[in-house]
């Protein structure tokens, strides 16, 4: 009997592998707390955060693939806006009787699935969105189906199609926050839509202090909850965050608790240590 107990205990420890928190004691402690939270709650959690100023990052299960669900709509919006910036499309192009801008707003703010699939179709299908991700040099994240196909297929929360690791999602968010993928006006438009996100208020936003600026996109499937985006700290620094959770019954509360812990801990970190490193940090190498 005792061998079985020990085996289960060891398996639970191996299930969550925290990343090195850049050598900063406060971040190491935060990562340990988040690891403990993930172990204490039923289900499986992927958590990652990156200070976009200093490059300091933490993660729990950072390189484990999770379904993106509707968080993939960030990639759809970014791919479409990149085409707008290149002059290949316009925000006022009409698709099925609606402007691309109105469809994108419905997709990002209300998580409208039909609007999403209309935009994906206009881009040339899921492969076009995935091609855009590859063209940006991103790995660990993929788009294989539109929303109707995803919802119509047999549900498998461990299917690697339409998945991302938490660290790969941070790379997408960092790309969007930079000037490498989108023109300033397109980036501002996308972030404004994320700021107005009207879904999943009990996740990242659930325990944020009054007035905290959050720009996010949620995702939901049966037995699955996700939320990704940006937190703006009191000193103006921005932190990219990704939360993926499958199984268990306490997913939104765990995400809300982890998001507040990240906000509080990163707020106490000074922004003076090695900011030049941030541009060179490869999150896929964090482990």
Per-residue pLDDT at 11: 37
CATH numeric code, 18-285: 3.40.710.10
Residue with tokens 């910036």: 85
For 118, the enclosing helix (H) or strand (E) is: helix 113-123
How high is the pLDDT of residue 283?
52
- pLDDT tens digit sequence for 182-240: 999 999 999 999 999 999 999 999 999 999 999 999 999 999 999 999 999 999 999 99
Q: Cα 172–219–84 angle (5° rounding)?
A: 45
Whether residue 77 has pLDDT greater than 90: yes
What are the CA-CA distances from residue 145 to residues 41, 89, 174 (Å)?
31, 22, 24
CA distance 241 to 141: 15
Q: 22 falls in which pLDDT band (50, 70, 90)?
A: low
**Domain boundaries, given as residue ranges, for the chain:** 18-285
Q: What number of other Cβ atoms are within 10 A of residue 77's Cβ? A: 26
Per-residue pLDDT at 14: 37
Q: In the chain, what percentage of residues exceed pLDDT 70?
A: 86
Q: Which DSSP string do the residues of 28-76 spell out, in sequence order?
A: HHHHHHHHHHHHHSSSEEEEEEEETTT--EEEESTTS-EE-GGGGHHHH
CA distance 79 to 32: 36
- Dist CA 12 CA 97 (whole Å): 52
Taking only the tens place, the pLDDT of each residue in 187-202 is: 999 999 999 999 999 9
pLDDT grade, residue 21 (50/70/90)? low
272-280: long-range contacts, CB 8 A cutoff, minimum separation 24: 273/24, 273/54, 273/56, 274/54, 274/55, 275/53, 275/54, 275/55, 277/54, 277/55, 278/51, 278/52, 278/53, 278/54, 278/55, 279/55, 280/55
Residue 181 in this model has a pLDDT that exceeds 60: yes
Which residues on neighbouring strands pair with residue 239, listed in sequence order? 51, 231
């Amino acid at each position: 009997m005792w061998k079985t107990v020990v085996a289960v205990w060891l398996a639970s420890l191996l299930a969550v592998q925290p990343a090195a928190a850049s050598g900063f004691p406060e971040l190491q402690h935060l990562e340990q707390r988040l690891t403990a939270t993930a172990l204490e709650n039923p289900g499986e959690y992927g958590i990652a955060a990156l200070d976009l100023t200093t490059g300091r990052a933490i993660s729990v299960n950072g390189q484990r693939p999770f379904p993106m669900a509707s968080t993939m709509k960030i990639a759809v919006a970014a791919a479409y806006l990149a085409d707008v910036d290149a002059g290949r499309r316009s925000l006022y192009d009409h698709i099925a009787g609606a402007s691309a801008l109105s469809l994108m707003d419905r997709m990002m703010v209300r998580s409208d699935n039909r609007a999403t699939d209309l935009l994906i179709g206009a881009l040339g299908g899921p492969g076009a969105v995935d091609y855009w991700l590859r063209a940006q040099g991103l790995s660990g994240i993929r788009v294989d189906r539109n929303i109707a196909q995803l919802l119509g297929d047999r549900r498998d929360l461990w299917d690697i199609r339409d998945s991302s690791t938490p660290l790969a999602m941070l790379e997408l968010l960092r790309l969007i926050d930079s000037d490498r993928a989108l023109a300033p006006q397109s980036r501002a438009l996308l972030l404004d839509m994320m700021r107005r996100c009207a879904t999943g208020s009990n996740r990242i936003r659930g325990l944020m202090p009054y007035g905290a600026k959050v720009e996010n996109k949620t995702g939901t499937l049966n037995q699955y909850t996700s939320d990704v985006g940006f937190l703006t700290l009191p000193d103006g620094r921005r932190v990219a965050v990704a939360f993926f959770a499958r199984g268990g019954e306490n997913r939104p509360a765990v995400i809300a608790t982890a998001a507040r812990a990240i906000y509080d801990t990163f707020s106490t970190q000074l922004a003076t240590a090695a900011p030049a490193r941030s541009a060179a940090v490869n999150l896929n190498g964090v482990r």
